[in-house]
Structure 1
Amino acid sequence: MARTTPHDHPHGDPGDHPHDRPHDLALTGERPLYWRVATQLLGELRDGTIPPGTRLPAERRLAGHFGVSRETVRQALEVLRRDGLIATDRRGSHATLPGPPLEHPASPVFPVGALRAAAPRAADRATVTWETPPPDHAAALGLAPHQPTLVHRFESAAADGHGLRRAVTSFSAVALAEVEELARYRYRADGTASAQLRRAYDWMRKAGLTLHHRDAITRLADSPSVRVTRLVHDQYERPLEVTDLVVDARRDALVYEFTLPAAV
């Protein structure tokens, strides 16, 4: 099969210049397949599905997302690269469209339940281990039975010992493969050293992942405590982490705060 290379186009979005297509490439409708992919990818860059400045998913992920070959993805990326819409370095391709920094709006604090109203409290304790996660975590993350992963444990209580919160988080193989800051903990996960991962969600976003979380709140039977189970996945529905938080709710309020950006 003959390979083709996208041509330069001085103005407009990909797909605006049908005369600019190579004649030996299989066409989809009136435009080359790579041109359609470039247009769709540009749309995701502009609508924030892929936030400004973030690393684009790997070529194989984009190929699966758009249902095309990796060669077609490379051609589409070249179209956007020539227009200055993405830039590529040794870590991959990055969106270069203007937009707010990744820290705005701020990512939620990790793990769920770690942030509470200002009050005297005992020091938080957080550690990581490399172990087989709880069975329900393994099932939610798509891990094989007995497959180990990075497990984070967090414990916090007020200074008087009340309002105890315990959270256990298991990370998926996808999260460890895509987020290098998390992957580094693999070799120091001995359960003894402090491991505050409050920026875990920021790290995920900087790796090019759009985060979606689902929280389920249940009251534990015969107990004043409540359980919050959070499952986080990315823009491709791949699970990233699951957290179980148990809160002693006798004297503590579980508060959820959401910020929605204004319409533009």
Structure 2
Amino acid sequence: MARTTPHDRPLGDGMPLYRRIATELLDELRDGTIPPGERLPGERQLAEHFGVSRETVRQALQMLRRDGLVATDRRGSHATLPGKPRETPVSLGFPIGARCATRGAVARATVTWETPPPGHAEALGVAPARPTLVHRYWSASADGRELRTAVTSFSAVVLAEVEELARYRDRADGAAAAELRRAYDWMRRAGLTLHHRDTITRIAGTPSVRVTRRVHDQYARPLEITELLVDAQQDALVYEFTVPAAV
């Protein structure tokens, strides 16, 4: 028999609390608060959201699983309700600053398994001197007037949850080319909601700027940090992107 806490006792109308929570969660799934296919928050987050115990949330999820409204796999639980698919957000290329292939432009990218650069370990919550996956990107415009270099360090969290990134550990020799352009798509497909914070700093006395991107997920866990250095050799930097029309 499931353990019953004081918060789990039947309500005045005789409905068990877990059934009411299941109904409220189902309403949020149906109104799109949690879209079809989106991974649900963990039991602790749901318990805090509804103001009940984790056991109550667990019972509510079990009820929804029995009814085929929620499915659970190794990455967590997600809604299986039929509904309008979520609008696919604009796919972000990785790393920040990576240029589209243009005639005459050159670029290369590699990965290594090493201690992250100074400042990265602290941002990612990585213990000092502990190695992680580090990605390096370099590109130059056709006329050589604009150079871009980016260094990215990944956290243990993202390497544990994103299989496509984890595979690079065994080939992170710093020599072979590394194609991580779809890294953000891989993260989203693993059920991670990506929150980007970009800081742009002009480097005094030079035509260069530094862009620092920090990415965390819906649980505020750090996923990666990238430092991009752009040597533009000009007074203005232009970033161009296209947002597709909604269908």
State, as a whole percentage, how many aligned pairs show the same letter: 66
Secondary structure in structure 2 of the residue aligned to 1:75: helix
Q: Is the 8 A contact 1:220 1:227 kept in 2?
A: yes
4+ residue runs of structure 1 moved beyond 3 angstroms? Answer: 22-25, 27-52, 54-57, 64-74, 88-94, 256-262
Contact 1:55 1:206 in 2 (8 A): no
CA distance in 1, matches of 2:20, 2:167: 38
Is 2:2 the partner of 1:3?
A: yes
Question: Once structures 1 and 2 are overlaid, which stretch shifts more, 25-34 or 77-86?
Answer: 25-34
Q: What CA distance in whole angstroms lies between the structure 1 residues aligned with 2:5 and 2:118?
A: 54
Cα distance, 1:123–1:249 mapped onto 2, change above 3 Å: closer
User: Which of the residues 253, 256, 262 maps onto 2:237?
Assistant: 253
Partner residue, 2:85: 100
Aligned match of 1:66: 47
TM superposition score normalised by structure 1: 0.75
- Count of residues in correspondence between the two structures: 239
Unmatched 5+ stretches in structure 2: none
Letter in 2 for 1:3: A
Q: Supply the AA of the counterpart residue of 2:85.
A: P
Task: Give the conservation status (yes or no) of the 8 Å contact 2:39–2:191.
Answer: yes
Partner of residue 13, structure 1: none
TM-score by length of 2: 0.80
What SS is found at the alignment partner of 1:168? strand
1:65/1:236 contact within 8 Å kept: no
Match of 1:143 in 2: 126
Amino acid at match of 1:151: V
* Cα separation, 2, equivalents of 1:187 and 1:122: 30
| Aligned 8 A contact 1:50 1:210 in 2 | no
Match of 2:9 in 1: 27
Does 2:158 align with 1:159?
no
1:209 to 179, 192, 195: 192
SS at match of 2:141: coil
**Structure 1 residue 175: deviation in Å?**
0.5
Residue aligning to 1:52:
36
Determine the C-alpha separation between the residues in 1 that align with 2:7 and 2:165: 41
One-letter amino acid of the structure 1 residue matched with residue 213 of structure 2: R
Q: Of 99, 105, 111, which aligns to 1:115?
A: 99
State the Cα deviation string for residues 149-186 of structure 1 (Å, max 9, x = none).
Answer: 11111111112222111110011111111111111111
Provide the C-alpha distance between the structure 1 equivalents of 2:242 and 2:31, rounded to a whole number of angstroms.
21
Contact 1:225 1:250 in 2 (8 A): yes
Tell me what 2:166 maps to: 183
Provide the C-alpha distance between the structure 2 equivalents of 1:160 and 1:182, rounded to a whole number of angstroms.
Answer: 33
CA RMSD of aligned residues (A): 3.3
